[in-house]
Each structure stands twice: as C-alpha cells, then as structure tokens.
Amino acid sequence: MWSGTVPPPPPSHPRRTGSGCPRSVVAGTVREVPTDRDLRFLSAADQAAVVAAGEVSPAELVDVALERIADVQPRLNCFAHVWADQAREEARAATEALARGGSLGPLHGVPVAVKETTQVTGRAFTLGSRTHEHVVAGHDAHVTAALRRAGAIVVGATTSPEFAHTLVTDSPLWGATRNPWNPSLAPGGSSGGSAVAVATGCVALAEGSDMGGSVRIPAAWCGVVGLKPGIGRIPMDVLPGLFDSISHHGPLARSVDDARLFLRCTQGPDDRDIQSVTTPLDLDGPTPSDVRGMRVGLSVDLGSWWVHPEIADAVRSAAAALEAAGAVVEEVDPGLGAADEWVWLQLWGVFMSAYFGNLLEEWADRMDPDVVSLIELGNRMSATEYKRLELARTDVWRRVSGVLAGRDALLCPTMATPPVPAAKTDQVSVQHPDDGRFHTNDMTGVFNLVAPCPALSVPCGVHTDASAAGVPIGLQIVGHRWREDVVLRLGRAVELALPEVTGRRPPG
C-alpha cells in the first residue's frame, strides 16, 4: 500500500545497451561502468557515474525506479508511500543542474528510499501506526537532508512495523511486507521495507534505523548488506529526545561499497544530535579488501544461542574464506545469552513507554498488541531498576571488549534461525527443547547494548532445507568503537570471497 498512485512512467529502458564504458569521476575515483546492464540493479555508485557521464538522465533513473516499485509493491508491500510527482520534479531539477555544469554530489540523480519512521519535509510521517496516519513531517531528518545534499532523490518511504518495534514488518496501518525470496516469509524488521526495496532493485540504497537489529535483521533475511554504525556516527535526530543510547541510522545496500558511500554522505557531526561523533572517517574511494594479518574472533553461538545448522555452516565457511584471504581466525566465547537479551528488552520497553505510552488511552484497541505489551513492560519499571540496567550493560561491554582485545572484529551469525511467517497472524508458538540453549531468532540486540561498536551484516550463504529454501544467510561482523571502516573492510573481503552468494538476486 502507499499514499496515492504511481502515474504511468514515460517510456524507460530498464536495460541500457551499447559498446564501451563511460568514464566518470565519482566520489574521488574514476569508475568504468558497462552500459549493457540493468539500471535497476546497478550500484548506487554506478548509477551516479552513468548520470555524471551523461549516459543516463536522473529522470530516466527515477522512472526506472518508479516502474520497478509499481511492479514489486503489489507482491511484497515494501513501500508505505511513493512520492512519484515530487521525485520526477526533483529529477528534472537534477537534470538541469547537470546541464549547468559544476560539481556534483556523489549520489547526484540516484533514487533512494527512507524508512517511514524518518522525516521528509512535507511528506507523510506515519510510523506504521494509525496514531500517525495523518501526520506530515515539518522538517528533514539529518539523514534525509544529507542524502539530498549528496544529490539523491527520495522516491518514497518504506514500510515498518508499528513504531519499528519488532523483526516482523507487519503493521496495523499497512499490513505485512513479504520476503522477496519467499513471500510467505518475513523479510525481517523493523527496516523490512527498506531491505526489500533494495533487494528487488526498486532503489540501490535505502535508509533504515536500528535499535535492536532493525537494519541487520532484514539485511540477513533479504540477502543485502546492512550496517549499524557506532552510535552517533550518523546523527540521529528523528526521536523526541536526543539522549537515547541504543538508536542508530544505517544503510541497506546491495554491496559493501554502497553502504560505505551512504555512510560517507550521511556521517556527522551535526549539532542537531549532541551525541554525534565529531571526527568523521575518511571514506573516499572504494572499500579496501586486503585482510592479510587481520585478527578476528569467531563465535557461532555467542556462548549460548541455538543456531540453525545451515547458518552455523555458512558462518564457518565465511570465516574460512577470510582465513584463506590471510586473516587470522580464532574461536572465542563472549559468554552472551538470554539475560543480556532481557536487559535489551527492558530498555526497549522503557523506550516504548516513554515515547508512545501517552497514546494508549485513546488508541490501545487500534495498536499492535505487542506494542501495548512493550509499553506496559516499560511502565512497570522503576527509575532505580532502569538505572541498574547500566550495571548489566557494563558487564556486557566487558565481555565484548574482552573478545575484541587484540583482535580487529568478532564474527557471528546475524540471525540464529531462518525467517518466520510474514504475517503476525500466522506466527506460531514454538515449544523449544530444554537443551540449555538460548532459542530466539536474532543475534543482534545484544550489540545495541554496546552501541559505539559498529555491526555489519553481509550475505554469506543460502538455506537449502524445505522451509526456507533459497533464503539468504547473513554473517555479522562486530568491530571496535566507531571503526566502521574495519567492519566494512572485512565485509568487502567476504563479498569478494563468496561472489556466488553476494551476487544473487531474488526471483521476479
């Protein structure tokens, strides 16, 4: 579903043919981009390159994106809003800017999407909730404005569960978003719409937010790249308060290079977020991929998780590929588990209570029951109990920093299980065996407790068993505080080592 309809686009050319490669300077490097490729699945950097070279106009790129959205949306429901008229108007302005000459941003003319929880001036700001069905944003969030300054054109807002609360992207306002590899399954959440939009070629880049894995989870289940940067690397000003300690913006992309480009364009500092990191990273050029001599820890279960055997095998294979590329891989045990997940859940309940608890009296019967339960969990916590969570987080940090000491990163699965059903009404209660293992879907939320540590999900395998055949598997790479460059480097090495995995596209 989306607001309004997408007008039929003028004739466009999803596949460009021709001889030779346009040469263009983008993001400080010379790129050679073959023209006989599907524009829908060009990287963001390559889309910017063909625009800058005059091979494709921003208007054509936007029309291709809108045509693809119109094809994908009825099947997978990944957009809450499509702003076709405004996007075409911005594309015309981008084309005129090209004609005038002068410097171009690194994403000039490139269609992108933002999550419906992120403000775009004058556009619907719905949060997946009936409580916000008619809310219009009065300003751009930092991340939106940064993408626009880089020349990107925002074509729409992607679906989220209500208030981005969970890993199933099924909201009271828009219904269920579906996995592009198997529509009966969930794409993950809460940035599920963004991951689907990227995986299916609607856009090359989409913004997501990550409070407990909401970028990394859908990246893993949809087979794309998702980065949770260290807190404050991308200024976070979408929340009512500026002192939240688990919330991050991050990119969904089809390649590590594009995720790095997104980060380069959107990193701070920005005084609109007092916690924004004041020293930007140097992210010009392509992502380095040489991992010779790098040391990484490997923990398939983080100490206690039950992990699906196919996921465990894929993660071990990715670690072996890094080892073959020259990295030193060592088995480690961070000793993380259910008690740490409970710490995160309590923080999340207080978050929900503080920001949305005032809506219960009027809206409770029209809200997701899980949201109501989270708000009630937060309501039950005393201020002292909440403060004591800092002691538990301190202990988590000591364990994580212990396995990172002397190493460049920690490798583990992003998800412990294949995707669950797409619709909340189809969820089933599973009786887990009493085997001493921690049974849950994700392995991400614990790393929001150590918020300055970046965490990247990159495809590393494919499920083959009947319940999820063809669905991707994600490797999670966790780094030292604010060393996004290191996790991206390792992720790029995985891409190069596993091209049969990272180059896949979903059917349709």
Helices (H) and strands (E) in the chain, counts: 14, 15
Question: 401 an active-site residue?
Answer: no
Break the chain down into helix, strand, coil percent, rounded to 5: 40, 15, 45
What are the residues facing 243 on neighbouring strands? Answer: none
Q: Which residues are registered as beta bridge partners of 117?
A: none
State the catalytic residue, choosing from 190, 209, 255, 289. 190
Rounded-to-integer distance, Cα 16 and Cα 55, Å: 9
DSSP H or E segment with residue 109: none
- Report which secondary-structure segment, H or E, holds 345: helix 338-356
Give the pair of three-digit tokens for residue 502.
């990272």
* DSSP at 438: B
Query: Any idea which residue has 């970028």 for tokens?
Result: 215
Q: Could you give the 3-state DSSP secondary structure of residue 363?
A: helix
> E strands of 393-436, at which residues?
409-413
- Decide: helix, strand or coil at residue 369: helix
CA distance 374 to 377: 5
Decide if 289 is catalytic.
no
Q: Is 115 labeled as catalytic in the residue annotation?
A: yes
- How many angstroms from the chain centroid is the CA of residue 504? 18
- 450 in Cβ contact with 397 (< 8 Å): yes
Asked whether 131 and 171 are in contact (CB, 8 A), the reply is no
473: nearest Cα among 489, 458, 491, 455: 458
Would you say 69 and 196 are in contact if contact means Cβ atoms under 8 Å apart? no
CA distance 128 to 160: 6
Say which of 115, 160, 209, 304 is annotated catalytic. Answer: 115
The DSSP symbol for 469 reads: T
Of 233, 251, 296, 221, nearest to 493 by C-alpha is 296
Active-site residue (options: 191, 194, 214, 289): 214
Give the amino acid at 48.
Answer: A
CA–CA gap between residue 495 and residue 498 (Å, rounded)? 5
C-alpha to C-alpha distance for 193 and 206, rounded to whole angstroms: 9
- By the 10 Å C-beta count (0-12 exposed, 13-18 middle, 19+ buried), 96 is classed as exposed
How far is the CA of 436 from the CAs of 10, 306, 336, 337, 400, in angstroms?
Answer: 59, 9, 13, 11, 22
Which among 237, 228, 186 is positioned nearest to 208, based on CA atoms? 228
Give the active site residues.
Answer: 115, 190, 214
